[in-house]
Chains A and B, each alone.
Chain A
C-alpha cells in the first residue's frame, strides 16, 4: 500500500515541473466557459432558469464536468503501447498488480489536475456569471462522487487500453467513449436539457453517473438522488474494474502463448 502512495506522490512531484505548460492548457477551460455562457443564455431565452438550473448554476456545472474531462491522462494509449510492444508479456504481472500500478501512477496526477482545473473553472464561472456564486457546501458534499466519477473514468480508460490485446488501434474506441461522455455524460448541458424520452434511455448507461451526476449534485444537491447515484457509481466502478481484470487475464494468456 505504501508503495502505491509513494508512486502517487512521485507522479505529482513530476507534474509540478510542467506547471507552466499545465496552466497554459487550462486557458482552454476559460474559453469553453465563455463560449457556453452564450449558448446557455440562448437556451434559457427570457427565462431565469430551465429545469431549475439558473445560468450561474450551469456555468459552475460546466466547470465541474470539464474539470473531470480535462484532467484525464491518456492512459489508454500507455496501456495500448505496453501491450503492443510486448512489455506486458515481459513483465507478466498479475492482473490486479498491473492495473493497480497504473491506477496509483495516474491517480495522484489526475486528482491534482482535477482540483486545480475545477478551482480555475469556478473562478472563471464567477466572473462570467456576473460575480454570482453557488452553495459551495454542495460541492464539498459532492467531492466523493466527483472523485468517484474520476475513478470510474480512469477504469474505463484502462479498459479501453486493454482492447489492444484484440484490436490494432484503440484510439477510435476512446473517441467513441469520449462522445458518449459528451452526450450521455452530460458534459456540456445537464441531461434535463434533452428530450425526456432520451433521458429515460440514457439512465441505463453508466455514463450518466459520471460527469453529469457529480456536477448536478454539486449545484443541486439532493440526498435521495445522491445516495442512489453514488451506490450505482460504486457498482459500476467494480464492474468496469472486474471487466479490465477479465480482459487482461484472457489477453495475457494469448500473448504468453504466442511468445509476445
Chain B
C-alpha cells in the first residue's frame, strides 16, 4: 500500500536524521562495525593460509566463506537498520511502549519495527557489499541474487525476532531467550554449510532454521536454480506471515490484560 511505503521511507529518514544529530558518533559506529566484521575475515585468511588442504578436502574454498559472511552481514544489517525495533521488541512490550503504537492508525507490528534503527547496522551492510564485490567474481545475476536474498534474509531474521519477542506476551520478558536463540542462528550463519555433516544438518534446517535463511540462498547464488529460488521465497514469506500471526495472537492477549499479567 502506498501509505505504508511512504511511512517506511519517512521513518528511515527520521531515524537517520536523528542519528546524524551526532555525526561523530554515527560515523564512528558505522566505521567501527566495518572494522569489526573485517576481523572475522582476517581470522579466516590466517586459517586458510595454514590449512589449505584440510579445507579443500571438505570442498570449502575461500569464496564460500566470503559469500556466507556477506549474506549474513547484509541480511542482519538490513533488518537492524530498517526494522531495528524487532530486536528491541521484548523491552518495548514490557515497558508499555507498545501502547504508543496502538494509538496510531497503522499496523502495530510494522510501526514497532520501523520505529528504531541500529546505526552500526549500516556498517554491516556496507561490509557485506564490499567483500561480495571484492572477492566474488562479478556477475550481474549474482549481484541481483545477492541483494534479493539479503532482503529476503532480512525478512527471515525479522520473522525470527518477531516470534521470539512475541513470547513476551505469553511468558513475560523473553529477552534472554530471544538473544540466545537469535545469536545461535547468527553464529551458524557465518560458517559455510559444508562444515556441518551428520545429524546437525537436520537441526540447521528445522529448529535453528539457518538453512532456510542463509544456506539455501548461498546455494542459489552459487548455482542458480529457479525451483529452489521460488520455494525459498515462498517459505520465507510464509514464515513472515506465521510470525505476524503469532504477534497478533499475543497482542490480543496484551490488549485484554495490559501489563498486569506480564512480569
Q: Say which residue of B28, B43, B177 sits within 8 Å of A169 (CB atoms).
A: B28
Q: Contacts A31-B184, A43-B47 given; indicate if A169 touches B36 (C-beta within 8 A).
A: no
Q: Contacts A25-B176, A168-B24 given; indicate if A39 touches B191 (C-beta within 8 A).
A: yes
Any B CB within 8 A of the CB of A205: no
Please give, as numbers and ranges, the residues of chain A lying within 8 Å of B188 by CB-CB distance: 31, 35
The reply to whether A24 and B180 form a contact with Cβ atoms under 8 Å apart is yes
CB contacts under 8 Å to A, within B204-240, are none
| Least CB separation from A179: chain B residue | B39
| Least CB separation from A34: chain B residue | B200
Please give, as numbers and ranges, the residues of chain B lying within 8 Å of A35 by CB-CB distance: 187-188, 191, 195
- List 20 A-B pairs, Cβ < 8 Å: A24-B180, A25-B176, A28-B183, A28-B187, A34-B200, A38-B195, A39-B191, A42-B60, A45-B53, A168-B22, A171-B32, A172-B31, A172-B32, A172-B36, A175-B32, A175-B35, A175-B36, A179-B36, A183-B42, A189-B47
Q: Contacts A38-B200, A39-B195, A172-B28 given; indicate if A198 touches B46 (C-beta within 8 A).
A: yes
CB contacts under 8 Å to B, within A1-54, are 20-21, 24-25, 27-28, 31-32, 34-35, 38-39, 42-45
Please give, as numbers and ranges, the residues of chain B lying within 8 Å of A183 by CB-CB distance: 39, 42-43, 46
Any A CB within 8 A of the CB of B58: yes
Mostly, the A contact residues are: helix
Any A CB within 8 A of the CB of B10: no
The reply to whether A182 and B39 form a contact with Cβ atoms under 8 Å apart is yes
Closest 5 A-B residue pairs measured CB to CB? A172-B32, A179-B39, A45-B54, A175-B36, A21-B176
CB contacts under 8 Å to A, within B1-40, are 22, 24-25, 28-29, 31-33, 35-36, 39-40
Cα–Cα distance between A188 and B43 once the two chains are bound (Å): 9
Any A CB within 8 A of the CB of B55: yes
Please give, as numbers and ranges, the residues of chain A lying within 8 Å of B31 by CB-CB distance: 172
The total of interchain contacts (Cβ-Cβ below 8 angstroms) comes to 98
Cα–Cα distance between A35 and B58 once the two chains are bound (Å): 16
Known: A176-B39, A193-B50. 16 other contacts (CB 8 A): A21-B176, A24-B180, A25-B179, A27-B184, A28-B180, A34-B200, A42-B54, A45-B54, A167-B28, A169-B29, A171-B29, A172-B36, A173-B32, A176-B32, A178-B36, A194-B50
Cα–Cα distance between A251 and B91 once the two chains are bound (Å): 35
Please give, as numbers and ranges, the residues of chain B lying within 8 Å of A182 by CB-CB distance: 39-40, 43
- The contact string, 1 if C-beta is below 8 Å from chain B, for chain A 188-199, is 110001110010
Residues of A within 8 A of B (CB-CB), count: 34
- B1 vs chain A, min Cβ distance (A): 37
CB contacts under 8 Å to B, within A179-214, are 179, 182-183, 188-189, 193-195, 198
The reply to whether A42 and B58 form a contact with Cβ atoms under 8 Å apart is yes
CB contacts under 8 Å to B, within A136-170, are 167-169
| Least CB separation from A24: chain B residue | B176
Any A CB within 8 A of the CB of B49: yes
The reply to whether B55 and A42 form a contact with Cβ atoms under 8 Å apart is yes
| Least CB separation from B36: chain A residue | A175
Please give, as numbers and ranges, the residues of chain A lying within 8 Å of B175 by CB-CB distance: 21
Cα–Cα distance between A168 and B29 once the two chains are bound (Å): 11
| Least CB separation from A31: chain B residue | B184
Please give, as numbers and ranges, the residues of chain B lying within 8 Å of A175 by CB-CB distance: 32-33, 35-36
Any A CB within 8 A of the CB of B196: yes
